[in-house]
Amino acid sequence: MDYLEEKYKRNCLTPKELEELQRKVREMSDGQLEDRLFKGWQEDILDDSSVSAERLAILKRKVDKSIFPKYRTKMLISWGRIAAAILLPIFVFATFYFYQETRSLSSGEVLFSTFAEEHANLTLPDGTKVTMNSNSSLTYSPKDFNRDERCVDFNGEAYFNVAKNKSVPFVITTKDLTVRVLGTKFNLHAYAGNETMEVTLEEGEILVSSRKEEKKLLPNQKAVLNCQDGSILVLEEKRPEDASVWKNNELVFIDEQLENVIVALEENYNISIHIKGLNIDSDLFTGKVPSNDLLNALEILKYSYHMDYCVDAKDIYFSKK
């Protein structure tokens, strides 16, 4: 058990080891599980260096409000509810989140989600690896997953490395687009409310479908869905890996309309950008913008277009100098 738990914390469990760890957890009583978690929290050295002080303070306030002045058992339950509602980009609470997930197998769906400026790595029960970008969510039903199909509901952006299984297709459903695969690597950009959604394929072969049509994608191709009319445009991509550079905390743009750059920043940082005195429909932008440093990103736009800006909470106002 200790060996499997340590491998889980390092995100290097094989699918068979994951199943074994899940089985062991299900066999534990609530008291045994509580004691093991409490012992782990006391002994483990947790790396919280990639979590901002502001985020930790928010979590602490939520926990304090929920648990005090209750006993230790209540504390574990309350903390579990908070930890299960979010997926931190590091494994600070990975062990407990895993326990919470396995104990909810019979009660419905499992949700993974990220906040602004957060990334998260997760491994699904079939061995599929998913790297989620900020403001994204993935939901699946453990009861039905990996039977006839491996179905997940998704909103946001993620890089999928789908485990190969020809007899059980992997199906991703978004608001306007469905992606069907057998085993492949691709980037999916599918935020609900956007005018377009994109799938960029690196390896393998996938089918993308909308309410209007279905298209097959081959390596080095990108499918662009028009969410308004359901049409799908297939384009050739010389560098498909550029679609997932956000995993390295970068947003890369090549001759991109400024309007689209702004949309990408708004999605990533969960902000609203307002621009006065500049035609954002015709201006093009080429360059890299950090996805984890809002101030630096704003400074790049400022000097690229000779603008000033001011910040009002989550609203950013740009104007000509």
pLDDT at residue number 270? 87
Which residue among 54, 75, 103 closes a domain? Answer: 103
User: Which domain covers residue 174, as residue numbers?
Assistant: 113-241
Listing DSSP states for 94-149 in one string gives HHHHHHHHHHTTTTS-EEEE--TT--EEEE-TTS-EEEE-TT-EEEE-TTTTTSS-
The answer to whether residues 82 and 126 belong to one domain is: no
Per-residue pLDDT of the chain (321 residues; tens, 9 = 90+): 677 777 766 656 666 776 677 677 767 776 676 677 666 655 655 555 555 566 666 665 655 554 444 433 333 333 333 333 333 333 333 444 444 443 343 447 888 888 887 888 999 999 999 999 988 999 998 888 988 999 999 999 999 999 999 899 999 999 999 999 978 999 999 999 899 999 999 999 999 999 999 999 999 999 999 999 999 999 999 889 989 989 988 888 888 888 889 988 998 888 999 988 776 667 788 988 998 889 999 999 888 888 889 998 889 999 887
E strand spans, 174-306: 178-181, 185-190, 196-203, 206-209, 214-217, 221-226, 232-236, 250-257, 272-276, 284-290
Structurally, the chain folds into a number of domains equal to: 3
Residue 108 in any domain: the answer is no
Q: Are residues 224 and 126 in the same domain?
A: yes
Q: Do 218 and 120 fall into the same domain?
A: yes
- Among candidate residues 103, 137, 167, the one where a domain is terminated: 103
Same-domain status, 117 and 53: no
One-letter amino acid of 59: L
